[in-house]
Amino acid sequence: THGRDSPSIVIFSITLLFLVATVRTFTFDVDAGLQLGKWENTTAISLNLRSGRLIIPTVSFTEINVNRSALREFDGLLLRKVFPKIFSSSLVQHELVGNYSQLFRIPGSEPDLEPYMLLAHIDVVPADEADGWDAPPFSAQELNGFIYGRGTIDNKQSVMGILQASEYLLERGYTPRRSFYIGLGHDEEVNGLYGAANIVKLLKSQGVKLQYVLDEGLAVLDGIINGLDGPAALIGISEKGQATVKLSVSSAPGHSSMLPRESSIGILASAVNRLEENLMPRLFGYGPERSTFEHLAHKFGLPLRFITSNLWFFSPLLSRVLERINNTNAFVRTTTAVTMFNSGVKINIIPSYAEVFVNFRIHSAQTLQEVLELVKSDERVKVELVNGFDPLPISSYDEQAFGFQIIKKMVQSMFPQLTVAPGKTSDAFLLNTDTCESLFKLINCFNTNVDVCSVFFIINIRI
C-alpha cells in the first residue's frame, strides 16, 4: 500500500502548493489599503527664471577645481533673487557652508519630532557642446518643448523644486510641524569633500539626529523590466559597496629567447580568468532586491506575476534567470569588472611585473572582507585592496518606516500611475548613518519617457 499511496501524496502536495501560490498571485499586493494624502494642486506658482541666466556653469572639474565665480553667481544672482522669502524669513535659519554650499533649517512647531533633510546639489559635471549636444549645454535653449542644459536633470531640478516649494509655503505663512533641513552641496560631483562633508561635520557638532535624508536617486523605470505593466518608481534604500583590488605578479625578468615556463602575464591572466569564470556567489533574495520584486508583483502579467508573488518558492529560479540578463545580473551578486591590465615595455623582453585592477560592486548581503577572501587564489599573485567600503546599511521600508512611507505616499498621490518599490543604487555618498537613521534616494525625474529622462545620458540633458 505504501507504494500506491506515495504518488497520490506527491500529487496532492503539488496541487496544494500550486493552489496556495495561485491564491497568493491574485491577492498579493503590498500596497493594499494604502491611504493616499490630499494634495493642493496649484498652478499658481510662477518662477521668473527667464529674467536671469537659467544655466550658470557651476561646473566641478576636480575636487579642488570648481568654478567659484559661477558658484558665487548662482548664490547671489540666481537663488537670492528668485527665492527672496526663504533667504529673508525670520523663521528660516540659513548659512553658507564651505563658502558655497547652502544649509537651511526650517523649525517646526513640534520640536520633539525628529527632523528630516532634503538634499540636492548645485554643481554639475563638465559639458562640451562638441560632444554632440543639440543645443549649447549652458544655454537653456528651448527645443521641441524641452529646456536643454547641463544640470536640468542631475540636479538643479531638485535644487529649484525644493526651494520653490519652500518659498511658496513660506509666502503663505505655513509652518511645518516637523522641522526640516535643506542641504544644497556645491561639490557633489567631486566627492563633496567641502560641501556635504562640512554639512555633516556641522550637524554632528550640533548633535542633530535626522529621521531620514532624501536625496537624488534612481529612475522611473518604464519598459526596462520586461513584463511590468506601467512605470515603476524605485526609492533607493541602500547602496552597494565597492572595492578596487590590484592583483600583481613579480617574477625574474628574461629575454624572450629564454622562455620561462610561465610568464608573469600568463600567471596573472590565469588569475583574471578564474575571477571571471567563478562569479561571486548568487545572493538574490538576501538583500533588498527581493522586496523590489515583491512590491512590483501585482503589476506584472502572468506568468511573472505568479513567480514574483511567490518568491518564497521561486527565488532560486528567478535568480538564475536574472543572472543571465546583462542588466539584471547586478541584482543577483557582487559584480566583477576587470578594468585595467598593465605589463610589458618591449616586444622581446618578458616583463617581470604585471598588474591588473578589478572593480567590485558589493551586494548588500556581502561584506568587503568576504569579497577579498574570495579573490585570493594563487600564492604567486599578490592581492592588494586599493580602496573600498562595505555596502551601506539598508534603510527600513516596512509599514512603520515613517520616511519610506511618506515618500511613497507622496509619489503615488502625485503620480497615481506609478508603482513605488524600494531599490538600490551603486554610487558613493557621504552623509553617513551616524547622523541619519535612514537614507532614501528618490527619482531624479518623473517624466516616464525614458528617451528624455534617463540618468544614463551624458549629453542632451533636458527637462
Residues that bind ligand NAG (CB under 6 A): 41, 43, 57, 59, 67, 69-70, 73, 98-99, 194, 325-326, 414
Q: Given 75, 188, 222, 289, which residue is catalytic? A: 188
Name which of 259 and 325 has its Cβ closer to ligand NAG: 325
CB 114 within 8 A of CB 208: no
Torsion angles phi and psi, residue 158, rounded to 5:
-75, -40
Nearest one of 164, 165, 160, 167 to 88, comparing CA atoms: 167
Distance of closest approach, residue 58 Cβ to ligand NAG, in angstroms:
8
Cis peptide before 303 (omega within 30 of 0): yes
Name which of 76 and 253 has its Cβ closer to ligand NAG: 76
CB 209 within 8 A of CB 439: no
Distance of closest approach, residue 415 Cβ to ligand NAG, in angstroms:
8
134 a catalytic residue = no
Distance of closest approach, residue 57 Cβ to ligand NAG, in angstroms:
5
Name which of 41 and 206 has its Cβ closer to ligand NAG: 41
CB atoms closer than 10 angstroms to residue 231: 22
Name which of 47 and 349 has its Cβ closer to ligand NAG: 47
CB 271 within 8 A of CB 381: yes
CB atoms closer than 10 angstroms to residue 23: 11
Name which of 98 and 236 has its Cβ closer to ligand NAG: 98
- 443 contact partners, CB below 8 Å, separation of at least 6: 217, 218, 219, 220, 233, 234, 235, 411
Q: Measure the CA–CA gap between 196 and 187, rounded to whole angstroms.
A: 8
Q: Given 75, 123, 216, 222, which residue is catalytic? A: 123
How many residues belong to the chain?
463
Q: Is 148 helix (H, G, I), strand (E, B) or coil?
A: strand
Distance of closest approach, residue 36 Cβ to ligand NAG, in angstroms:
11
Name which of 123 and 154 has its Cβ closer to ligand NAG: 123
Q: In the block, which residue shows the cell 506575476?
A: 305
Output the CA–CA distances (angstroms, integers) from residue 380 to 45, 376, 383, 462, in the order listed. Answer: 66, 10, 10, 51
Distance of closest approach, residue 220 Cβ to ligand NAG, in angstroms:
15
Q: Measure the CA–CA gap between 211 and 330, rounded to whole angstroms.
A: 29
Distance of closest approach, residue 418 Cβ to ligand NAG, in angstroms:
12
CB 26 within 8 A of CB 308: no
User: Minimal CB distance to ligand NAG: which residue?
Assistant: 70
CB 287 within 8 A of CB 364: yes
CB 404 within 8 A of CB 235: yes
Name which of 172 and 376 has its Cβ closer to ligand NAG: 172
Distance of closest approach, residue 325 Cβ to ligand NAG, in angstroms:
6
List the grid coordinates of 419: 508603482
Q: Measure the CA–CA gap between 387 and 385, rounded to whole angstroms.
A: 6
Active-site residues, by number, are 123, 188
